[in-house]
Chains A and B, each alone.
Chain A
Amino acid sequence: MSKREVRLMQGNEACAEAALYAGVKFFAGYPITPATEIMEILSRKLPQVGGVFLQMEDEISSMAAVIGASIGGLKSLTATSGPGFTLKQENIGYAAMVEIPCVIVDVQRGGPSTGLPTLPAQMDVMQARWGTHGDHPIVVLCPSTVYEYYTLTVQAVNFAEMLRTPVIVLSDAIVGHLREKVVLPELGELKIVNRKMTTVAPKDFLPYKADEDGVPPFVNYGTGYRYHITSNNHDEGGFPATNNHQIADSLLRRLHDKVEKRRSEIVITEEIMTEDADVIIFAYGCTARSAYSAVEEARKKGMKVGLIKALTLWPFPFEVLLKYSKQAKHVIVPEMNLGQLAGEVERTLKDCPVKVTRLNRIDGRMITPEQIVSTISEVI
């Protein structure tokens, strides 16, 4: 009988522990600040649970190895930061196209390029969505506390396995290096999802023939099934179909549909003190921490302010915003970038009588609760 363990934990440590909880058995990575702790911890812990840790020669190969291991049947994860995330993008697109479950943790730091290696930012929101070329589905989860970093890492592995698609955990240097008290979930407390395996005989098996949910069942390599993988457009048999317009169209639509079909499961948001709110702060990641304090402060002053915290950034959680489109007069979007998600908020609310206000900071320091309170006072 396991018990809930109480720990003082660093965010990146929670991520590594959560990966093990979720059943991750393979990690390949490359050193990069502020994400290196995840790989350092897993280099010790994975071998202890029969898993495999590989330090690779660069970020590109780390992503490729993660895909390879996942094809081989292991739940696989890698962790990096902005510049490394950029180098991984080609293979992230590959994983989306050939439908290989994998999780990429991006501990954001200031960019572009080498940028601010030790300072936080939220500048990879659009890179997480559109960093790799082509229309591809992606799921991006964003923690604002150490505990959320834990639970969302478990969720990320679950979603990847469930959807057969890459899932990104988008944390940042604040949440990654933050130490907080965490009550760890017991074994069995959080749901663990394993990939769906085929039930048909080898002769009837088509590796990319999807079920009703849009997700094709898996087989492991070397089990007697014919399983051909190509990153070209491919038919249900997994062979290139680069001149077949109908297959090209249906494949890409299915890749998107399988995510959209599970939207209600995947899109995670929290509404805090929003019941009567005239002003809503829409925040995510480390900025949601300041936003929470700001809401408490504003409430003390008698202002009707609430917080929507987005834990899923992509698919973009427009539903929760539309829910308040008649009630709220103002939405404030504080972000440590120049407005990457604010654009989505504005797009969602463009036909509603709600004014969207951006609050941006890009100097490597957190947006403070005071800044948000002062923006609230300005818009009211």
Chain B
Amino acid sequence: MATPLNLKELSKKEELFTPGHRLCAGCGAPIVAKMVVMAAEHPLVMTNATGCLEVSTCISENTAWKMPWIHSAFENAGATIGGIEAMYRSLKKQGKIKEDIKFIAWGGDGGTYDIGLQALSGVMERGQDVLYVCYDNGAYMNTGIQRSSATPLGADTTTCPAGSVVQGKPQGRKDLAKIIAAHQGTYVAQASPSNWQDLMKKVRKALDHKGPSFMNIIAPCNRGWRTQLNDAILMSRLAVDTCYWPLFEIQDNITTITYKPKEKKPLVDFLKPQGRFKHLFAPGNEAILKQAQDDVDAYWERLLKEEACFAK
């Protein structure tokens, strides 16, 4: 019987992702990590691509993970977890392992959207029984805030700096969830720590799914987003309520939206508190703001249509 997803019961559960790690104050990533680990009811084995979460949760002889945890190279958390899962299947078949073990790979957006996409695609296509979690903070934060293909339109980073000619990143964000959903037999979900029950339900669904799963979870970064230290959850909620970060899942090519904001807030509510978008509010950049809003609207409308299309 799985632990009910309420705070009273969950607070009794042993924490397997523990405090004492060295992630920045106010970072969204450890909140996400804690929720994912807490949702699981099976023994876990983790791989972690190079990134903030990796470098800060395992320092010298200290680890925040109470489980087997393997730091892979930057580009191959997907392949590494694939190797481990294949070994497990073989040992299980031989009767050498009795337990049901679940396998989770972690990567930031740089290690997932960019350099790790090939290995991620491989493990998904082979139909291996793993969950890959991307904690998406929208840039290479570990090396000092360089743009990634998850960086949103107009954001200022050290390699797409806002100046007098170029106004931050000229391109939008890659739609990774849809790319992974295009792999047969996958369970794909987008989640946010602001909607923690939704997030944890999706983790359980992903781990119960017989085959490859992928979760993309927004993880605000106050250093890169230039926001207040205490508003990671608020920012992730604004991302959801503006439909910048819709909560949905795709299984067998069927899209289900798992949360619809009662009132869809304007995108500027999400952009304005973030220093990385400050220049967009200067006179002359109205078109970029409009473009960003239009992109969000179009994506949301499309999701609604996709969902309606498959409604029973």
Known: A31-B140, A40-B158. A114 touches B71 (CB 8 A): yes
Q: Are B115 and A57 in contact (CB under 8 A)?
A: yes
Query: Hey, which chain B residues are within 8 Å of A113, CB to CB?
Result: 73
Chain A residues, CB < 8 A from B160? 43, 55
Q: Measured between C-beta atoms, what is the minimum distance from A233 to chain B in Å?
A: 29
**Given A47-B166, A83-B73, do A57 and B146 touch, yes or no (CB 8 Å)?**
no
As a 0/1 sequence over residues 49 to 62 of chain A, the CB contacts with chain B under 8 angstroms (1 = contact) are: 00001010111000
Q: Does any Cβ of B come within 8 Å of A32's Cβ?
A: yes
**Chain B contacts of A40 at CB under 8 A?**
144, 146, 158-159
B164 CB to nearest chain A CB (Å): 10
Chain A CB within 8 A of B161 CB: yes
A-contact 0/1 string along B154-181, CB 8 Å cutoff: 0000111101011000000000000000
User: Given A31-B146, A55-B146 in contact, is the A43-B161 Cβ separation under 8 Å?
Assistant: yes
Number of A residues near B (Cβ < 8 Å) is 20
B158 touches A43 (CB 8 A): yes
Q: Confirm or deny: A314 has a beta carbon within 8 angstroms of a beta carbon on chain B.
A: no
Q: Which of B50, B113, B149 contacts A114 (CB 8 A)?
A: B50
Report chain A residues within 8 Å CB of B163.
44
Q: Are B143 and A33 in contact (CB under 8 A)?
A: yes
Name A29's closest neighbour in chain B (CB-CB): B159
The CA of A36 and the CA of B147, in the complex, are separated in Å by 12
Q: How long is the Cα–Cα vector from A44 to B146 in the complex, in angstroms?
A: 13
Q: Does B129 belong to the interface (CB within 8 Å)?
A: no
A59 and B146 contacting across the interface, CB-CB below 8 Å: no
**In the complex, how many angstroms separate the beta carbon of A16 from the nearest chain B beta carbon?**
13
Is B158's CB under 8 angstroms from A47's CB? no
Contacts of A117 in B (CB 8 A): 55
| CB closest residue in chain A, given B54 | A114
Chain B residue nearest in CB terms to A44: B161
Please give me the residue from chain A that is nearest to B161 by CB atom: A44
CA distance in complex: A117, B73 (Å): 12
Q: For B74, what are the chain A residues with a Cβ–Cβ distance below 8 Å? A: 83, 114
- A26 within 8 A of partner (CB): no
Any chain B CB within 8 A of the CB of A150?
no
Which B residues from 84 to 140 make CB contacts under 8 A with A? 110, 113-115, 117, 140
Task: List chain A residues, Cβ under 8 A from B161.
Answer: 43-44
- The 5 closest A-B CB pairs, nearest first, are A58-B115, A31-B143, A57-B114, A31-B146, A43-B159
Using A43-B160, A113-B73, A114-B74 as known contacts, list a sample of 19 further A-B pairs with CB atoms less than 8 Å apart, ordered by residue number in A.
Answer: A30-B114, A31-B110, A31-B143, A31-B144, A36-B144, A39-B146, A40-B144, A40-B159, A43-B158, A44-B161, A47-B166, A57-B113, A57-B114, A57-B117, A57-B149, A58-B75, A58-B114, A59-B115, A114-B73
Interface residues of B, Cβ cutoff 8 Å to A: 50, 55, 71, 73-75, 110, 113-115, 117, 140, 143-144, 146-147, 149, 158-161, 163, 165-166
11 A-B pairs, CB-CB below 8 angstroms?
A: A31-B110, A36-B144, A40-B159, A43-B159, A44-B161, A55-B147, A58-B75, A58-B115, A59-B115, A83-B74, A113-B73
A residues adjacent to B (C-beta < 8 A): 30-33, 36, 39-40, 43-44, 47, 53, 55, 57-59, 83, 87, 113-114, 117
